[in-house]
Structure 1
Amino acid sequence: MKILAIESSCDEFSISIIEEDKILCNIISSQIKDHQVYGGVVPELAARLHLQNMHIVLQSALKETETTIESIDYVAYTEKPGLIGSLIVGKTVAEAIALYIDKPLLPLHHIEGHIFGASINHKFVYPVLALVVSGGHTQIELVHSPNEFEIIGTTQDDAIGECYDKVARVLGMGYPGGPLIDKLAQTGNSSKYLLPIAKNDNSFDFSYSGLKTAAINLIHNAEQKHEKLELKDFCATFQFAATSILKIKLEKAVQKFKPLTLTVAGGVSANSSIRKLIMEIGNTYNLNTIIPDLEYCTDNAAMIAKLAREKLINQNH
């Protein structure tokens, strides 16, 4: 079984080909440099660049894997969620390929793809408790099978990645600023400043708008008083506040739902503090703990290819 998968939900256009359980290629056309000048992703520009680059990515995938388009058995693509224009480009390319080779088309969910991206080179034992952390989503999901996902907690406003990037922008770090905050936080004092642990309640939901506002106010107050902001200490304090609530809620979810596997997914799963807290919880509760390979943390088509394969296998059992 050979599957060609397309991921185009935001500012990356990616094509991956998987054969059996082996990722043959994972070609990604990134647009970060094109959007940096605007301080974030411009939806119309992202869609136009997808149109401009899609044939190059497809040709590269086929060439790298020495695959003919006719040998593909299934075509998978990200149906939702994401930027509408970007999703439409990916869907149109997938439909054209599937129509040309007369093979089945599989529309898939972006977040489910992220979760299964963690299982590339690893094995899920169900049920799986997944922490989803990205620019647009912060969720805890209980995965019973590749076809059964249960959202048990989600953000009520900003996602964690969105919060990182907005605070980084106010600090003048540019876009994307999350990785730079993480890097600076490594050598900072996390108790130097005072920031809230947001929505520390009995629910499994999250809220990052309050932390974002508090962090930005702290920055502006320091500027107005002409006080020097110790950047490393501020980043460490911010990161502690942002990630502590993840650990608190995830640990409560582990205690209640008793999963056999614990994992983390999404672009922010590359964050060092988040990777560390996942391992700590996993070790405490003796869980099968899976940290995704860094190459599969950000948006990529390999995760969609893996999800497609697991769904097809699950349907046949």
Structure 2
Amino acid sequence: MNILAIESSCDEFSISIMSDSKILSNIISSQIKDHSKYGGVVPELASRLHVENFHWVLIEAIEKSEIQLEDIDYISYTSNPGLIGSLIIGKLVAQTLAMYLGKPLKEMNHIEGHIYGANIEEKFIYPVLALVVSGGHTQIQLLEKPLDFKIIGTTQDDAVGECYDKVARVLGLEYPGGPKIDILAREGNKNRYVLPISKNDGTYDFSFSGLKTASLNLINKLNQNKEEINIQDFCASFQNTAIETLMIKFRRAVKELKPKTITVVGGVSANSSIRNKFYDIAREYNIEKVIVPNMEYCTDNAAMIAELTKEYIRTESKMED
């Protein structure tokens, strides 16, 4: 079974080809340099660049996979959530290919794709507890069986990645700010600046607007008082608070729901401190399996959509039998 998957929900256009559960190609066209001068993703620019770039992404994905286009059995694409213009470009490319080849077309969910991106190189042992952390989403999802997605906790306002980027911008760091904060934090004193942990209650839900506002207010106050900001210490303090906000809720979910697998997915899962914390939690609660995806599968990519598509096809096939 050969699957061609497309991911275009934001500022990356990616095409992946999977054959018999193996990823043969996963080509990603990134637009970070194009958007960095604006301090964030410009939706209209993102969709326009997708139109300019999809053809070479498709050609490279086919060439690297060494699969003939005519041998593709299924076409899939990200249908939601994401930037409308970017999603439409991916949909049009997928529809055109499916019509030309006369093959089935399948719509996939971006968040579900991120979760199954962790299932590419290692396999889930259910139940699975997943922490989804990205620029637009912060969730805890429970899967008691394949494709059984249950959102048990979500952000009530800003996503954690969005919070990182906004604080980084005020600190004068270039977009995307999250990775730069992570690097600077490694050299800083996490106890130098005091920042609040928001929504520390009995739920699994998150809030990052309070941390964002407190961080921006503290930066402004220090600047007004002409006090020098130690950027490494500030990044370390901010990151420690942001990650502790995530871990308080996730630890509670692990303790109460007792999953066999824990995983962290999404763009922010590339953060070194978060990755280390997951191994600590696995040891603390004797979790059978911890999956921290390869960096290639953390950011938006089509391989995760191919893996999700494969799981849906497999489930549909079992139901028919």
Q: TM-score, normalised by structure 1?
A: 0.99
Partner residue of 1:104?
104
Q: Counterpart in 2 of 1:4? A: 4
Partner of 2:298: 297
CA distance in 1, matches of 2:90, 2:99: 14
Show the counterpart of 1:314.
Answer: 315
Distance 2:304 2:81 in 1: 15
Number of the residue aligned with 2:280: 280
2:164 is the alignment partner of 1:164: yes
Alignment: residue pair count: 317
SS of equivalent to 1:79 = strand
Unpaired runs of 5+ residues, structure 2, are none
Aligned partners of 1:146 and 1:97: how far apart in 2?
28
- In 1, Cα distance between equivalents of 2:182 and 2:315: 38
Report percent identity of matched pairs: 62
Give the TM-score of the pair, scaled to structure 2: 0.97
Q: Which moved more, 1:282-291 or 1:293-302?
A: 282-291
Cα deviation, residue 145, structure 1: 3.2
How much has 1:284 moved relative to structure 2? Answer: 1.4
Residue 66 of structure 1 corresponds to 66
Within the alignment, does 1:175 sit opposite 2:171 as a pair? no
Task: Compute the RMSD of aligned alpha carbons.
Answer: 0.8
Q: 1:212-291, aligned counterparts within 5 Å?
A: 212-287=212-287, 288-291=289-292
Give 3-state SS (helix, strand or coil) of 2:236's partner: helix
Report the more deviating stretch, 66-75 or 129-138.
Answer: 66-75
1:25-71 Cα offsets, whole Å, 9 max, x none, are: 00000011010111100000000100111111111111111222110
1:26 has 2:26 as partner = yes
Q: Give the Cα–Cα distance (whole angstroms) in 1 for the partners of residues 50 and 104 of structure 2.
A: 23
C-alpha distance in structure 1 between counterparts of 2:309 and 2:197, whole Å: 37
CA distance in 2, matches of 1:312, 1:143: 18
The equivalences for 1:105-144 within 5 A come to 105-144=105-144
Letter in 1 for 2:90: G
Superposition deviation, residue 233 in structure 1: 0.7
Q: Which runs of 5+ in 1 are unaligned?
A: none
State whether residues 2 and 18 of structure 1, in contact with CA within 8 Å, keep that contact through their aligned partners in structure 2.
yes
Q: Is 2:44 the partner of 1:44?
A: yes
Measure the CA separation in 2 of the matches of 1:225 and 1:52.
48
SS for the counterpart of 1:298 is coil
Amino acid of the structure 2 residue aligned with 1:146:
P
| TM superposition shift of 1:314 | 2.3
CA positional deviation for 1:270: 0.4
Deviation at 1:217, TM superposition (A): 0.7
